[in-house]
Amino acid sequence: MDGSHPTQFFDDYPTLDGVGDVDSFIDARIREGSDYLKIIIEDSSVIGQSTPFIPPEVSAAVTARAHARGLLVVAHAQSRRFVEQAIESGVDGLAHQ
């Protein structure tokens, strides 16, 4: 999502704007050589900031479509709310717990 974590630190970090961008986002990561995806489900509140975050329907779509393409998906999620979203989305693992 535009403006989401960690885009406040990296200008060229790959993002997507909604479910309609999921397939092209995954295709681009595969072309770059990715064999798994790490999605960031976080509003930056744990670092005292407030940023947009990936909504549940987008994290679920990314996970389902990545799995259909043979990719694993891990989620960067640090608060209970976003860990629950990641699990409900069907990710294969969690990072930064």
Average pLDDT over the chain, rounded to an integer = 84
Q: State how far the Cα of 84 lies from the Cα of 77, in Å rounded to an integer.
A: 9
Q: State how far the Cα of 73 lies from the Cα of 66, in Å rounded to an integer.
A: 7
Mean pLDDT value across residues 50-59? 84
Supply the pTM of this predicted model: 0.81
Buried b (16+ CB within 10 A) or exposed e, 61-77: bbbebbeeeebebbbbb
Helical segments of the chain, H only: 22-31, 56-68, 80-89
Phi, psi of 75 (to 5 degrees): -120, 135
With cut-offs at 50, 70 and 90, classify the pLDDT of residue 54.
Answer: confident
Phi, psi of 95 (to 5 degrees): -115, 150
Pick the CATH number of 19-95 from 3.20.20.70, 2.60.40.1120, 3.30.70.2740, 3.30.1120.130: 3.20.20.70
- Check pLDDT > 50 for residue 10: no
Ordered by start, the domain boundaries in the chain are: 19-95
At 40 the pLDDT is: 86
- Check pLDDT > 90 for residue 89: yes
